[in-house]
Amino acid sequence: MIKESIEEYVKALNTLAELHNQQKDQPPFRAPTHLHDFVLKHGEIWQGQTLPSKYRLRPIRRCFQNTYNLVRRSKALTYCEGFVASREIPLTIHHAWAVNAKGEVIDTTLRAYLNLSASGGDRGEYMGVRFPTWFVQRYWLGSMLDCYYRGFRLDVIEAYERQVANYYLKTDVLAAS
């Protein structure tokens, strides 16, 4: 569900860019799909779950800061950033959450805002990129992938592809053998 939603969004943006570029006397326009393309290339999909009782809900609209603080305090959690969607939300939302060693989503922000399935049912679907804590501590500026005052983080994308993507590939190959 979520991967297809992201792909449809990228396709729609690219179509709009093509239509714009067909007009005369207009500067060329490239659809701003860097974030989506990166998540589609390196992302994983997780199913949401009820927040374990040892975690508490944090302030709404602060998912990046809440998750950053959470993973700094817990070596058992990994920072993730990407998109979340559910049947109750008709679009994907840029979001941050943590994942534990079992691959379970620890989302201390969104549940408070949308009250997603406090009693069961649809708990959302997440697609995002895992960032090791050392990488987050080095590059985090309010978000790993997008900053209001800096724009899209191409520096993080390039560093991730140089330093981290190969690490996960090697780890997965070793685990499979």
Please report the pLDDT score of residue 174 as a whole number. Answer: 45
The H-or-E segment that residue 56 falls in is none
Tell me the three state secondary structure of residue 95.
Answer: strand
Q: Does 128 fall in a domain?
A: yes
State residue 49 phi and psi, 5-degree precision: -145, 165
Please report the pLDDT score of residue 177 as a whole number. Answer: 46
Q: Does 1 fall in a domain?
A: no
Q: Does 16 fall in a domain?
A: no
pLDDT digits (tens, 9 = 90+) for 93-138: 899 999 999 999 999 998 644 555 444 556 789 999 999 998 898 8
C-alpha to C-alpha distance for 172 and 177, rounded to whole angstroms: 9
Q: Hey, what are 76's tokens?
A: 């058992």
C-alpha to C-alpha distance for 132 and 100, rounded to whole angstroms: 12
Q: Does 148 fall in a domain?
A: yes
Q: Does 67 fall in a domain?
A: yes
Please report the pLDDT score of residue 114 as a whole number. Answer: 52
Amino acid letter, 80 = C
Q: Does 18 fall in a domain?
A: no
Strands across the sheet with 105-106, in order?
44-47, 125-131, 77-86, 89-100, 105-106
Q: Does 60 fall in a domain?
A: yes
Share of the chain above pLDDT 70, in %: 80
The H-or-E segment that residue 74 falls in is none
What domain count does the chain have?
Answer: 1
β pairing state of 105-106 and 44-47: unpaired
Q: What is the mean pLDDT of residues 22-28?
A: 84
Amino acid letter, 67 = T
**Interior angle at CA 41, CA 37 and CA 44, nearest 5:** 115
Domain range spanning residue 45?
34-176
Q: Does 130 fall in a domain?
A: yes
Please report the pLDDT score of residue 173 as a whole number. Answer: 44
Q: Are 89 and 114 in contact (CB under 8 A)?
A: yes
pTM of the model: 0.81
Looking at the predicted structure, is the pLDDT value of residue 22 above 70?
A: yes
Q: What is the mean pLDDT of residues 23-52?
A: 86
pLDDT digits (tens, 9 = 90+) for 152-169: 677 787 888 888 776 665
User: CB count, 10 Å around CB of 153?
Assistant: 22
Q: Residue 32 has what DSSP assignment?
A: -
pLDDT digits (tens, 9 = 90+) for 68-90: 999 999 999 999 999 998 877 66
